[in-house]
């Protein structure tokens, strides 16, 4: 009689209203102490969307590195300046067909990104720095920098690869 009695899932409900797909919006300041708060939030968001642990870590790492870059580069290390993060359940088409996943959008009012500088160091050179963008690009399926109305925006999407649920796990 071993069996799963119930498995709460959160993916069905709000499929009609696109607004409801928003998980949350977070406004923080460019203070490195805020990073651990954001990491905790994003980790749970990934959990709520049923990302496997490894993918959740990848998403957390990407958001952390992207925010650190905003603090260090876009804001040149100045503290107390505003950063926004929006986090939503995403669904759409990728080259592999229909996909669902998580979309995270960061916005800041810092200096415009210089596209020619937006690359890390060659990975075979052993020196400090130049790793953040590598981490982000290796972790996320979509990474898009843009500038709109004097704001930098970074949009990241990670697809949720459906993992087959174990047999007999839908008890009721």
Residue ranges in contact with a second copy by CB under 8 A: 10, 13-14, 17, 19-20, 22-29, 31, 33-34, 36-37, 39-41, 43-45, 47-48, 79-80
107 binds ligand ADP (CB under 6 A): no
Take residue 123 and report the two structure tokens written for it: 């990975």
**Please, which residues have CB within 8 angstroms of residue 128's CB and are 6 or more apart in sequence?**
none
95: buried, middle or exposed (CB in 10 Å: 19+, 13-18, 0-12)?
exposed
Per the structure block, which two tokens stand in for 47? 């959990």
| Residue 24 C-beta-side C-alpha neighbours within 13 Å | 12
118 binds, among another protein, a second copy, ligand ADP, none (CB under 5 to 8 A by kind): ligand ADP
Residue 138 interacts with, from another protein, ligand ADP, a second copy, none (CB under 5-8 Å by kind): another protein
CB atoms under 10 Å from CB of 132, counted, come to 19
H/E segment holding residue 67: helix 53-69
**Binding to another protein, residues 91-150 (CB under 8 A):** 123-124, 126-129, 131-132, 134-135, 138
The entry of a second copy, another protein, ligand ADP, none near residue 3 (CB within 5 to 8 angstroms by kind) is another protein
User: What is the contact surface with ligand ADP in residues (CB under 6 A)?
Assistant: 69-70, 73-74, 113, 117-118, 120, 129-134
């Amino acid at each position: 009689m071993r069996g799963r009695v119930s498995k709460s899932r959160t993916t069905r409900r709000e499929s009609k209203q696109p607004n409801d797909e928003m998980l949350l919006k977070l406004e923080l300041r460019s203070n490195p102490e805020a990073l651990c708060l954001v990491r905790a939030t994003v980790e749970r968001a990934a959990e709520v969307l049923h990302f496997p642990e490894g993918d959740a870590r990848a998403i957390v790492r990407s958001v952390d590195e992207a925010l650190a870059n905003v603090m260090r580069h876009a804001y040149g290390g100045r503290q107390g300046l505003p950063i926004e993060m929006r986090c939503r359940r995403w669904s759409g088409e990728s080259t592999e067909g229909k996909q669902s996943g998580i979309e995270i959008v960061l916005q800041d009012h810092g200096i415009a990104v210089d596209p020619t500088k937006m690359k890390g160091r060659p990975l075979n050179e052993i020196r400090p720095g130049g790793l953040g963008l590598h981490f982000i690009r290796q972790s996320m399926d979509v990474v898009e920098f843009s500038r709109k109305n004097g704001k930098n925006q970074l949009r990241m999407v990670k697809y949720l690869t459906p993992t087959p649920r174990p047999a007999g796990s839908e008890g009721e």
